[in-house]
Amino acid sequence: MSHETVLLEQKEPGIWLLTINRERAMNALAPQVLEDLGAAVRSVVAEPTARCLLVTGAGRAFVAGADIAVMSAMSVLEARDFAAKGHRTLRALELAPFPVIALVNGYALGGGCELALACDFIVASEQAVFGQPEVNLGICPGFGGTQRLTRVVGRSLALDLVTTGRQVKADEALRIGLVNHVVAPEALLDKGLALARMIAGKGPVAVRFSKHLVIRGQDLDLANANVLETDVFGLLCATDDKREGMAAFLEKRPAKFTGK
């Protein structure tokens, strides 16, 4: 499937690859890109067999930022609408009922870093570079960067990055917990597919609700988050996948999950 600025393809059963495809603009997030990205995510969510989504960028950038040429001409209301559109799009990605893995092949700056942070985890090329350089333009991050970055790396490091605008290479990103894996550029897609296959082989309902617990639980206090987990644990014990998974374990054979 091809949108105007986004390519979407099924790589393997249950595994989809979404590519931001504005290579000449280093995949900058113009309003149309956000529209196409949202439409692509909705189309994968509508696939009942979808188990994992990989997100990357064409060429030498993941996403080099939001489109500054477009933003420079925006009024106050237009800028707020643009930020709101970015938040809606990235929240839809965050709430997808399957894990989403960012494959960061190059620059992930500004809106690109925010896009990667909205994914469930990040695999980075050794050539990847991250940053929230909006202060260099006299603005702040507008697509959730101040909030998701703080939740991932902590308050002090988030303030360091968003107030200095400095860039972080892949090795430092791994050290501070911003990314999960760093691989050679030529191994990026293979690593992403390997992780996606691992996820796709697990109980689909269990994976879906485990993600739900992590995403929803972080907005609750610990006691209420644990109540939510308790309820979901009980719910999952009524599924066919639970019965199959435990039977397979006891019988020492691979499980054959049906997602029911």
Structural domains in the chain?
6-200 (3.90.226.10), 204-250 (1.10.12.10)
Closest by CA position to 231, among listed 215, 247, 217, 218:
217
How many angstroms separate the CA atoms of 184 and 77, rounded?
43
Would you name the residues annotated as active-site residues?
Answer: 114, 134
**Looking at the chain, how many residues does it have?**
260
Tell me if 116 sits within 8 A of 102, measured CB to CB. Answer: yes
Q: Which two tokens stand for residue 200?
A: 């796709």
* pLDDT category of residue 66 using cuts at 50, 70 and 90: confident
- Tell me: pLDDT of 8 over 70: yes
Average pLDDT, integer, range 218-245: 95
Q: Which two tokens stand for residue 215?
A: 């995403």
Tally of CB atoms within 10 A around 79? 14
Q: Quick: pLDDT tens for 104-148.
A: 999 999 999 999 999 999 999 999 999 999 999 999 999 999 999
Q: Which two tokens stand for residue 169?
A: 């290479």
